[in-house]
Structure 1
Amino acid sequence: MVGRAILVPVMKNNDTRPAKHEPQSPWAFSTRELGRRAGTMRTVSREIPAPAPAEGVIGLEGVLEVPPGSPVVLDLSLEAVSEGVYVSGTVSARVAGECSRCLDELSDDLHIRIGELFAYPDSVTEETTDADEIPRLVDEWLDVEQTVRDAVGITLPLAPLCRDDCPGLCPECGGRKADLGADHGHETLDPRWSALRERMSSD
């Protein structure tokens, strides 16, 4: 018995639009389920290892920064609004560096709040602002890396201290004043006697 051939229709895809690709960055979040419905919200939490120096440190390089590989914890809310998606929440990380006075190593736990609007394509906000002013959504994805970098950078002090009253270093010997004691000092020779002293030491 010979079976009958079954013809299966082939559906052609006439959509010529470029395929959307999910970004590989761990800092990127999908907004697809928000669907541009103002008031719709979702919360996200993620722990991301801080980038290597070659990718640019988070913080103030050489002053106070998030050590490469240490966790950066994001707890965020993504809310659809009329012009885009508003991202708000907290960033937590540990920063390390050195005291600007005594050069001792120091570290601190950083907890900061962020808030940023990511504009929809073809929105009024996109048309009236530059991308470096307000970031954009790309294929229903938003990337918070630069937002986090900016927030950390403006929060950290340019001259960090191990403590507010750090006395710093002795300008003569370079020792830590906190370890040298209150009676620490150096003999100051009148320059008029320096030639005589050198002559006496050579005899």
Structure 2
Amino acid sequence: MAEDKIPLDTRNPWVIDTRELGRRAGLSRTVHRKVPVTTELGVPDVIVVPSGAEIELDLLLESVVEGVLVSGTAVAPTAGQCSRCLDPIEGQVEIELTELFAYPDSATEATTDEDEIARLVDDRIDLEPVVRDALVLALPQVPLCDEDCAGLCQECGGKWADLEPGHGHETIDPRWAALVERFDDSPASGPGREA
């Protein structure tokens, strides 16, 4: 297995030229590259792979009868905020990829719809849609700073981790509020009166 000798398309680092593989089943090449993120991926204000970050690709390209099979991993940094306490969080997401890029005029290309399988175009494969979709689907729907994060107090908005033990807010049913105020102000409720 040869190292990454596949030429890098300087105009688009997501595109890999597969001519060195030919169409002979059994040939393979590894590809290790870092690809810049030009547009933020994910759910804004929740969790994203930020613009300007790099996605690290570690892939194996194998020539098979029907096309080029791409397998391996993609790792990207993430940034967002905790869904419970709203603190900023950073981490990374890693995905496993296995994708067949069908040769033009192959049986696979002829028998599948255009959106069901990726295809080689001029002996090149474009990894961006495959990696982008897999990364976005792998992002957590409810990102947390810690599994045990208690979140925020519903009354004052303070972070539970920063509040004193026993923190609470007395709430009075509004239907009883006038009655409570009246008894709190009356002399009968004073310290010398026994209930």
Could you say which TM-score interval applies, normalised by the shorter chain? 0.7 to 0.9
2:118 partner SS: coil
State the secondary structure of the residue aligned to 2:33. Answer: strand
Aligned length: 175
1:40-72: per-residue Cα shift (whole Å, max 9, x none)? Answer: 1111111111113xxxx2233332111110111
In structure 1, how many angstroms separate the alpha carbons of the residues matched to 2:25 and 2:82?
Answer: 47
**Alpha-carbon offset, residue 111 of structure 1:** 2.5
Structure 2 unaligned runs (5+)? Answer: 1-8, 186-195
| 1:169 and 2:152 aligned | yes
Select the residue among 45, 48, 61 that pairs with 2:35: 48
CA distance in 2, matches of 1:95, 1:60: 11
Aligned positions of 1:68-147 closer than 5 A? 68-147=51-130
TM-score by length of 1: 0.79
Q: Which residue of 1 aligns with 2:13?
A: 26
**Which residues of structure 1 form unaligned runs of 5+?**
1-21
TM-score by length of 2: 0.82
Residue 15 of structure 1 aligns with which residue?
none
More deviation in 60-69 or 31-40? 60-69
Aligned to 2:6: none
Q: CA deviation at 1:192?
A: 3.0
Q: What is the rounded CA distance, in whole Å, between the counterparts of 2:164 and 2:97 in structure 1?
A: 44
Measured on the aligned residues, the alpha-carbon RMSD in Å equals 2.1
Among candidates 149, 163, 172, match of residue 180 of structure 1? 163
Partners of 2:42 and 2:106 in 1: CA distance: 32
Percent identity between matched residues is 56
| 8 Å Cα contact 1:51-1:58 kept in structure 2 | no
